[in-house]
Structures are given as structure tokens and as C-alpha cells.
Amino acid sequence: MNVYHEVANCLSEIHWSVQTIAREVGIQDMKYFYRIFKEKCGMTPKEFRHPQVT
């Protein structure tokens, strides 16, 4: 399992902050985390956790 798959699972199932989840997987730089998460998943962690229904 890659880190971003693990993060996505945590965002879906655990009510920790995004910052706590990032640190749990070893990422300290939040700007880097948000940028890479968006590149890999096509949305920010917040958008992933709370998708907008249109």
C-alpha cells in the first residue's frame, strides 16, 4: 500500500486532523503534503474528506 492510499483511508475512516495524519505517515511539511496529495488524488485532503455534491 502506498502512502497516499493509506492517507486516503485515514481521511475516510479516522477523525484525525489532516496534519496529524500527515505526521503519522512521516510528512512534516504541510505545503508539500497538500501539493503531492493533490497531484496524486486530484483534490486536496479537505476536498477528499468533504466532497461537494453537485
State residue 19's pLDDT score. 92
Q: Which of 47, 54, 53 is nearest to 8 (CA)?
A: 47
State residue 32's pLDDT score. 93
pLDDT tens digit at each of 54 positions of the chain: 577 777 888 888 888 898 998 898 898 999 999 998 899 889 998 888 887 766
Entry pTM = 0.74
